[in-house]
Chains A and B, each alone.
Chain A
Amino acid sequence: MSDSKLLSLSRAIARFVPDSSQVVMGTSLETFIPFAAGHELIRQRKRDLTLIGPISDILFDQVVGGGCVHKIRAAWVGNVITGSGYNFRRAVEGGTIEMEDHSNLTVSMALRAGAMGVPFMPARTALGSDLFKTNTSLKVISCPFTGDTLAAVAAINPDVAIIHVQRADEYGNAHAWGNLGITREACMASRHVIITAEEIVSPDVITSDPNRVITPGFRVSAVVHAPWGAHPSPVPGYYNRDHQGFIDYRTASKTSETFADWQARWVDAVHSSDDYLRLLGEERVAELALNHHVIPEAVDYGY
Chain B
Amino acid sequence: MGIKNKGYTLPQLMVTAAAREIADNEVIFVGMRLPMLSFFLAKSTHAPNAVGVYELGIVRDTVAPEGILTMGDLPNLFRAQWLADTADAMGLLQQGFVDASFIGGAQVDRFGNLNTSYIGSVENVDTRLPGSGGACDLASLGKRHIIIMAHQKHRFVPRVDYITSPGYGEGPGWRQQMGLTGGGPSAVITTLGVLHFDPDTCEMTLTSVHPGVTVDEVLENTGWPLQIAAELSQTPEPTDAELSMLRRFDPKGYWTGA
A interface, CB within 8 angstroms of B? 28-31, 54-55, 74-78, 80-81, 83-85, 88-89, 92-93, 95, 99, 101-105, 108-109, 112, 123-131, 133-134, 140, 148-150, 177-185, 233-234, 236, 240-241, 243, 290, 292, 294
Contacts and interface: CB of A to CB of B under 8 A. Distances in A.
A76 B56 contact: no
A29 B166 contact: no
A224 to B, nearest CB: 22
A124 B130 contact: no
Contact of B162 (A80, A128, A130): A130
Q: Main secondary structure on chain B at its contact with chain A? A: loop
Nearest to A111: B87
Interface in B59-93: 65, 69-74, 77-79, 83-87, 90, 93
Contacts of A95: 125
A128 B180 contact: yes
Nearest to A104: B134
B74 A234 contact: yes
A243 B90 contact: no
A294 B127 contact: no
Given A30-B72, A129-B163, A184-B85, A93 B140 contact: no
Interface string B83-112: 111110010011000000000000000000
A290 B74 CA distance: 9
B83 A177 contact: yes
Contacts of A89: 127-128
Contact of A104 (B126, B128, B132): B132
Contacts of B65: 292
A103 B132 contact: yes
B140 A126 contact: yes
Interface in B109-136: 117, 122, 125-136
24 contacts: A28-B57, A29-B55, A29-B56, A54-B86, A54-B133, A55-B133, A74-B131, A75-B133, A77-B131, A81-B33, A83-B130, A93-B127, A104-B133, A105-B137, A128-B169, A129-B165, A129-B166, A140-B179, A178-B77, A179-B84, A180-B57, A182-B87, A234-B73, A241-B74
Contacts of A128: 140, 163, 166, 169, 174-175, 178-180
Q: Main secondary structure on chain A at its contact with chain B? A: loop
Nearest to B135: A103
A149 B74 CA distance: 39
Given A54-B133, A77-B130, A92-B128, A148 B179 contact: yes
B186 to A, nearest CB: 18
Interface in B31-61: 32-33, 54-58
Nearest to B168: A128
Interface string B123-161: 001111111111111001100000000000000000000
Contacts of A129: 136, 140, 163-166
Given A124-B181, A128-B180, A133 B175 contact: no
Contacts of B181: 124
A31 B56 contact: yes
Given A127-B179, A179-B58, A182-B86, 17 more contacts: A28-B57, A55-B133, A75-B134, A78-B131, A80-B70, A89-B128, A93-B125, A124-B179, A125-B141, A128-B166, A129-B164, A179-B54, A179-B77, A180-B85, A241-B72, A241-B73, A243-B69
A213 to B, nearest CB: 14
Interface residues on B, range: 35 or more
A101 B137 CA distance: 13
B57 A181 contact: yes
Contacts of B87: 105, 108-109, 112, 182, 185
B133 A241 contact: no
A128 B74 CA distance: 36
Query: Which of A54, A80, A112, A179 is most buried by chain B, counting CB atoms within 10 A of its CB?
Result: A179
B73 A240 contact: yes
A290 to B, nearest CB: 7
B66 to A, nearest CB: 9
A74 B134 CA distance: 11
A177 B85 CA distance: 11
Contacts of A294: 78-79
A102 B134 CA distance: 9
Contact of B130 (A30, A78, A108, A183): A78
B77 A236 contact: yes
Nearest to A291: B66
A126 B136 contact: yes
A181 B85 contact: yes
A108 B90 CA distance: 9
A179 B83 CA distance: 5
